[in-house]
Chains A and B, each alone.
Chain A
Amino acid sequence: MEGRILEKQAVIEMRGVTKRFVDVIANDKVDLKLFPNEVVGLLGENGAGKTTLMNVLFGYYNLDGGEMLIGGEKVSFSSPKDAINHGIAMIHQHFTLVQTQTVLENVMIGMEGSFFLNYKKAKEKLLGIEKEFGFHLDPDAVVWTLSIGEQQKLEILKALYRDAKILIMDEPTAVLAPTETIELFETLHNLVKSGHSIIFISHHLQEVMDICDRVVVLRNGKRVAETEVSETTIPELASLMVGRELLERLDKGKSKTGEVILEAKDLRVKNNRGITAVDGLSFVLKEGEVLGVAGVSGNGQTELSEMLFGEVKPEEGEIYISGKKVPGGSLSSVIKESMARIPEDRIKTGLFMDLSVKENMILESHVKEPISKNGLINIKEIRSFADNCIKSFSVKTDGMDAPVKSLSGGNLQKVILARELVGDPKLVVACQPTRGLDVGAMEYVHQAMLNQKESGAGVLLISDDLDEIFLLSDRIIVMYEGKIMGEVSAEEADRDKIGLWMSGVTS
Chain B
Amino acid sequence: MIGMSIVKRKPLPAWVMLVIPVAAVFVTLLITSIPILIAGGNVFKAYGALFQGALGSKFNLLETFVKASPLVLTGLAVAFAFRAKFWNIGAEGQLFAGAIMAAWVGIYFTWLPSFLVIPFMIIFGFLGGGLWATIPAFLKTKLKVDDVVTTLLLNYVILHIMGALLFGPMQMEGSSWPRSASIMDAAFYPMLIARSRFHLGIIISLVAVLAIWFINNKTVFGYQSRGVGINLNAAKFGGINTNMVILKTAIISGGLAGLAGVGEVAAIHHHLMMDVSPGYGYTGIVIAMLGNLHPIGVALAAFFFSVISVGAQTMSRVAGIPIYIVGVIEGVALMTMLIFILLTEYKIRWTKS
Contacts and interface: CB of A to CB of B under 8 A. Distances in A.
Contact of A376 (B220, B227, B237): B220
A151 to B, nearest CB: 23
B237 A349 contact: yes
B220 A351 contact: no
A406 interface: yes
A367 B238 CA distance: 10
B10 interface: yes
A352 B231 contact: yes
A437 interface: no
A372 interface: yes
Query: Which of A336, A359, A366, A401 neighbours the largest number of chain B CB atoms within 10 Å of its CB?
Result: A366
A406 B11 contact: yes
A353 interface: yes
Contacts of B10: 406
A405 interface: yes
B221 interface: yes
Report which residue of B221, B227, B234 has the largest number of chain A beta carbons within 10 angstroms of its beta carbon.
Answer: B234
Given A359-B223, A401-B14, 14 more contacts: A331-B238, A331-B239, A343-B237, A348-B231, A352-B227, A352-B230, A352-B231, A354-B231, A355-B227, A362-B223, A364-B238, A364-B239, A376-B218, A406-B10
A473 to B, nearest CB: 25
B219 A363 contact: no
A311 interface: yes
B234 A349 contact: yes
A229 B10 CA distance: 46
A298 interface: no
Interface string B227-246: 10011011111110000000
Contact of B233 (A331, A348, A366, A379): A348
14 contacts: A331-B239, A348-B233, A349-B231, A351-B234, A353-B231, A354-B230, A355-B227, A359-B223, A364-B238, A364-B239, A366-B220, A376-B219, A401-B14, A405-B11
Contact of B236 (A311, A341, A362, A401): A311
Contact of A355 (B220, B230, B236): B230
B179 interface: no
Contacts of A376: 218-220
A375 B220 contact: yes
Contacts of B224: 366
Contacts of B222: 377
A375 B223 contact: no
Contacts of B14: 401
Classify the secondary structure of A's interface with B: loop
Contact of A375 (B221, B230, B231): B221
Majority-rule SS of B interface residues: helix
A171 B239 CA distance: 33
B234 to A, nearest CB: 6
Nearest to A362: B223
A112 B234 CA distance: 45
Contact of B234 (A336, A363, A366, A406): A363
B226 interface: yes
Interface in A322-374: 330-331, 336, 341, 343, 348-355, 359, 362-364, 366-367, 372
Contact of A403 (B11, B218, B235, B238): B11
A385 interface: no
Contacts of B235: 352
B238 A363 contact: yes
B223 A377 contact: yes
Contacts of B231: 348-349, 351-354
A309 interface: yes
Contact of B218 (A309, A353, A362, A377): A377
Interface string B1-34: 0000000001100100000000000000000000
Contacts of B223: 359, 362, 366, 377
Interface residues on A, range: 20 to 34
B72 to A, nearest CB: 24
Nearest to A350: B234
Contacts of A331: 237-239
Interface in B302-348: none
Nearest to A419: B238
A379 B218 CA distance: 8
A305 B57 CA distance: 66
B217 to A, nearest CB: 8
Contacts of B219: 375-377
Contacts of B233: 348-349
A214 B140 CA distance: 50
- A-B CB proximity, top 7 nearest: A331-B239, A363-B238, A349-B233, A352-B230, A349-B237, A354-B230, A406-B11
Nearest to A373: B220
Contacts of A406: 10-11
A348 B236 CA distance: 11
Contacts of A351: 231, 234
Nearest to A364: B238
A361 to B, nearest CB: 11
Nearest to A341: B237
A401 B14 CA distance: 9
A107 B221 CA distance: 50
A377 B224 CA distance: 11
Contacts of B227: 352, 355, 363
Interface in B171-196: none
Interface in A391-405: 401-403, 405
Nearest to B227: A352
Interface string B115-131: 00000000000000000
Contacts of A341: 237
Nearest to B228: A352
The winner among A352, A362, A377 for most chain B CB atoms within 10 A is A352
Contacts of A401: 14
Contacts of A367: 220, 239
A367 B224 CA distance: 10
Q: Which of B230, B231, B235, B236 has the most CB of A within 10 A?
A: B231
Nearest to B222: A377
Contacts of B226: 352, 355
B212 to A, nearest CB: 15
A170 B222 CA distance: 42
A353 B230 contact: yes
B104 to A, nearest CB: 32
Nearest to A348: B233
A434 B75 CA distance: 44
A465 B219 CA distance: 42
